């Protein structure tokens, strides 16, 4: 089973704001068509980025998926191509054990940077990034089984 869900209002209040209306407005990611690979992740607030500026953005979301899967967070192709906006880590790699971790419930954040020579503005509800679920393989002699999750960032 894989899905996106909201973090709790309590966690949202710590990470974002104690704003029930904003919390209720969180859009659960969906694919835009049957052939679309990624699940669009929408902005919680308006975003204005000057050239070279970065912004760490809460999503209000967490993701649940299988132990042999990974959630990749990537910039939507139109966001990168039209506006030269990128993820600071290029591709976000979310492990399945990040879900409901004790530090922040697995709250997904993104950090974007404006690599363009002009400012760009985006509105609350715009989709800048997308999540892609994928299976992954491990080596036959994998020795990392059973170790506890390392701390969050």
For residue 83, being part of any structural domain is answered with yes
For residue 10, being part of any structural domain is answered with yes
Number of domains into which the chain is organized: 1
Q: Show the domain range for 22.
A: 3-135
For residue 99, being part of any structural domain is answered with yes
Secondary structure E strands in the chain = 3-6, 39-42, 47-49, 54-58, 61-64, 69-75, 85-87, 92-95, 109-114, 120-122, 127-135
Using CA atoms, how far residue 126 sits from 4, 41, 51, 105, in Å, is: 17, 8, 19, 24
CATH number at 83 reads 2.70.40.10
Tens-of-pLDDT digits for all 153 residues of the chain?
Answer: 899 999 999 999 999 999 999 999 999 999 989 999 999 999 999 999 999 999 999 999 999 999 999 999 999 999 999 999 999 999 999 999 999 999 999 999 999 999 999 999 999 999 999 999 999 998 888 876 666 655 554
For residue 148, being part of any structural domain is answered with no
For residue 25, being part of any structural domain is answered with yes
The model's pTM is 0.89
């Amino acid at each position: 089973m894989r899905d996106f869900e909201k973090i709790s209002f309590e966690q949202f209040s710590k990470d974002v704001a104690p704003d029930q209306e904003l919390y209720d407005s969180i859009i659960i990611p969906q694919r835009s068509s049957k052939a679309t690979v990624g699940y669009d992740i929408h902005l919680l607030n308006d975003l204005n980025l000057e050239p070279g500026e970065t912004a760490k953005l809460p999503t209000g979301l967490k993701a649940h998926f299988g132990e042999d899967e990974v959630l990749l967070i990537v910039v939507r192709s139109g966001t990168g191509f039209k506006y030269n906006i990128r993820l600071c880590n290029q591709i976000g790699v979310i492990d399945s054990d990040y879900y409901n971790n004790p530090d922040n419930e697995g709250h997904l954040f993104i950090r974007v940077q404006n690599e363009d020579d002009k400012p760009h503005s985006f509105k609350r509800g715009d989709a800048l990034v997308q999540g892609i679920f994928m299976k992954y393989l491990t080596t036959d002699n994998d020795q990392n089984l059973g170790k506890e999750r390392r701390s969050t960032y």
